[in-house]
Chains A and B, each alone.
Chain A
């Protein structure tokens, strides 16, 4: 089955840039998306189709996907961005596959 791997945690200072990676075999050949989940809340889609932002998502969220790695970048990170982030891709055999999740801490 297809697997996506993320670092367990990322720390960032307010106003700095946070980068979260998501690794999977030939991930660049699939579309990746990213979800933000704050404690006790449902996930929110922040990036889809590698680099598109849904309506209402701030411009500081951006995405890229190439080779075996997709990356979510949060520029000018704010305290409100502290959350768990999950990458996700669609695999023809496995269906929707989520990454292992990354906890972003804004110090």
Chain B
């Protein structure tokens, strides 16, 4: 059974940094692209960033470009999101999601999701 477990969330002041992690199990991690998706309280889903199987292709939403960096460690079966210069509007539940495509590249279909880690940006 595929499991994705996020960690690293918390309360942080505007302008500070936070690093999220996602540990995968039950899946050949390096066969698939991976993504981060967030959901602000009471709001809809927003794609944050994605990364191909070998880290050769990455993409990010305009709202986080230049501030957030996605990375992965296939040996550790882990996905990361380095979040710098955090803003109040980054407050959300951050989900780690597995891409469904077996090509290893981003198809944008997310077939497994973690339970999320809460990030709150407030002074």
A residues with CB within 8 A of B: 1, 31, 33, 35, 37, 42-45, 48-49, 54, 86, 88-90, 94-101
The answer to whether B47 and A48 have CB atoms under 8 Å apart is no
- For A42, list chain B residues within 8 Å (CB): 95, 113-116
Q: Is B46 an interface residue (CB 8 A)?
A: yes
A43 touches B45 (CB 8 A): yes
Residues of B within 8 A of A45 (CB): 100, 109-111
- 23 contacting pairs across A/B (C-beta < 8 A): A31-B109, A33-B109, A35-B110, A37-B45, A42-B116, A43-B110, A43-B113, A45-B100, A45-B111, A48-B109, A48-B111, A54-B100, A86-B45, A88-B45, A88-B109, A90-B106, A94-B62, A95-B106, A96-B35, A96-B108, A98-B46, A99-B44, A101-B44
- State in angstroms the CA–CA spacing of A49 and B114 once bound together: 22
Q: A1-B62, A45-B100, A90-B106 are in contact. Are A95 and B111 (CB under 8 A)?
A: no
Q: Contacts A33-B108, A48-B100 given: A98-B44 contact, CB under 8 Å?
A: yes
Residues of B at under 8 Å CB distance from A? 35, 37, 44-47, 50, 59-62, 95, 100, 106-111, 113-116
- In angstroms, how far is the closest chain A Cβ from the Cβ of B116? 7
The DSSP consensus for interface residues of chain A is strand
Could you tell me the distance in whole angstroms from the C-beta of B4 to the nearest C-beta in chain A?
A: 9
- Among A35, A48, A49, the residue within 8 A (CB) of B45 is A35
**What CA separation (Å) do A90 and B100 show in the bound complex?**
13
Smallest beta-carbon distance B43→chain A, Å: 8
Distance to closest chain A CB from B63 (angstroms):
10
List the A side residues contacting B60 at CB < 8 Å.
95
Which residues of A are found within 8 Å of B95, using beta-carbon distances? Answer: 42-43
